[in-house]
Amino acid sequence: MTSEVTPMPQIAQLQVSPEISHAFDLAFLEAEKFRGQTNPNPPVGAAALDAQGAVLGVNAHRFSGESHAEAGLIENLKKLGKAELVDTVVITLEPCNHFGRTPPCSEALIRDLPRLKRVFYAQPDPNQKVSGGGPGRLRQSGIQCELVASPAIQRRGLELIAAFWVKTQLGRPLITVKTVHRGNYTKESLERLAAELPSPEFENSMIPPEGQATFGDRAQLEQAHLLRRRADLILTGSGTVLADQPSFTVRYVDDFKDKKRKIWVLDRRDRVRHQLPEYFDLAAKRGFEVLKVESEFDYSLPSVFGYLSRLSQNDSKFMEVLVEAGPRLTKAILLSGFYDLHVVMACCDPNEKNKPLSQTAITAFTLFNEKTFGFAQS
Ligand SMILES: NC(=O)c1ccc[n+]([C@@H]2O[C@H](COP(=O)([O-])OP(=O)(O)OC[C@H]3O[C@@H](n4cnc5c(N)ncnc54)[C@H](OP(=O)(O)O)[C@@H]3O)[C@@H](O)[C@H]2O)c1
């Protein structure tokens, strides 16, 4: 499979051992399973290794208020009688050192893992008030604790907590734009397409063939539904709703049981209400809270995203907006710069249609908006 969660920057030569890199992989995969369910907390994964580099256990934070990834990992290892074997722990986010709804993980690592020598983490905590506390406490007690020396793993760590990072640093929700393109693209040709925006090819390749609402294969649909699953609001345009009447529900992967989502259709001429009067009632029946704004609302993109920021400020669990729109609205948003992540996907070879995700090759990557994250793309 050529799909990946984040782009591998050219500067990223792995400077960590294959064992540590593999342990991070497992921690990321575990954390991804709960991404969007842990709000207002970030998703976090952790893995423990013995002195030979063998993985002893993997765990992730699941719900806010429940145990942190490291605390749950330690509990599991204690139950299995393996706590004494732990030499190294890798965590996708730096370990905490404060009492919140759960006790500090740094203390649990020191107290319950008697042979622990090294802790590596993929991202510092974006909350300046607590950042550095956990690593400092571990170092004080003689345990090496460092940001992992791999830009690729660090970037994957940032992508995992992007919603938490944006909410903490900027006080607004993460805006993720998803675009799916028709055609047999390689990663390089798809990257070129995304970089050349706006191009007629970028827009045309987003339109499904006559008579179809989507053109993705199973693998691409699963990826798209994972993005939907973690979103708190789906933002779309009237063109998409009128063309496809999409349900925007999570179907190709298991949904989170109690996750509530909003939907907002940008529709300056109110065409959906007139041409598809039942659409919003059906969306409400599917569990969406349908956003309605007053008729004199100014639909300029600064107003739209200002409104979303205010909603997020009043709701700690509202952390990510997924833009699932057609080429008109998507292009306007990408060109305006009011977005943080752009997830670009292309379908796989038609011969691979309907194979499970693990067996198919789709091309998918995430581009970071430099304006938000303040670093060069590669
Ligand atoms: N491949 C993909 O990733 C993907 C995803 C979704 C949809 N699609 C396809 O896209 C097609 C529909 O394309 P589309 O471009 O018409 O759909 P769209 O981008 O979802 O909707 C466009 C409409 O949004 C409204 N809008 C409101 N505010 C806007 C703003 N600031 N800038 C631009 N538009 C704004 C406009 O109508 P008003 O002027 O009336 O407000 C505009 O006509 C369908 O065939 C669908 O299948 C593809």
203 lines ligand 1 (CB under 6 A): no
Which one of the listed residues 30, 70, 159, 320 is annotated catalytic?
A: 70
Query: Is 206's C-beta closer than 6 angstroms to any atom of ligand 1?
Result: yes
Exposed / middle / buried, residue 370 (Cβ in 10 Å: 0-12, 13-18, 19+): exposed
Cα(278)–Cα(330) distance, integer angstroms: 25
Give the span between the Cα atoms of 22 and 291, in whole angstroms.
43
Query: How far apart, in whole angstroms, are the C-alpha atoms of residue 221 and residue 263?
Result: 19
| Count of other CB atoms within 10 angstroms of residue 342 | 21
Does the structure show a pLDDT above 80 at 128? yes
CA–CA gap between residue 145 and residue 88 (Å, rounded): 10
Tell me if residue 287 falls in helix, strand or coil.
Answer: coil
**Phi, psi for 235 (deg, rounded to 5):** -110, 125
Q: Report whether residue 92 contacts ligand 1, using a CB cutoff of 6 Å.
A: no
Confidence band, pLDDT 50/70/90 cuts, at residue 353: low
Take residue 324 and report the two structure tokens written for it: 């699932």
pLDDT of 10 reads 40
Out of 182, 214, 266, 345, mutate this one to test ligand 1's pocket (max ligand atoms within 8 Å of CB): namely 266
Angle at 295 between CA 291 and CA 297, to 5 degrees: 75
- What percentage of residues in the chain have a pLDDT greater than 90? 76
Annotation marks residue 70 as catalytic: yes
CATH architecture under which domain 168-373 falls: 3-Layer(aba) Sandwich (3.40)
pTM reported for the whole predicted model? 0.92
The atom number, within ligand 1, closest to the CA of 179 reads 3
Checking if the pLDDT of 333 tops 90, the result is yes
In short, whether 216's Cβ falls inside 6 Å of ligand 1 is no
Q: Percent of the chain at pLDDT above 70?
A: 90
* 18-160 fold: Cytidine Deaminase; domain 2 (3.40.140)
Q: For residue range 208-267, what is the model confidence (pLDDT) as tens digits? A: 888 887 777 788 889 999 999 999 999 999 999 999 999 999 999 999 999 999 999 999
**Contact residues for 260 (Cβ-Cβ < 8 A; gap 6+):** 232, 287, 289
**Distance, CA of 158 to CA of 143 (rounded, Å):** 24
Find out whether the beta carbon of 243 lies less than 6 Å from any atom of ligand 1: yes
pLDDT tens readout for residues 27-84: 999 999 999 999 999 999 999 999 999 999 999 999 998 999 999 999 999 999 999 9
Indicate the domain borders of the chain: 18-160, 168-373
Model pLDDT, residue 184: 77
Nearest CA to ligand 1 atom 8: 326
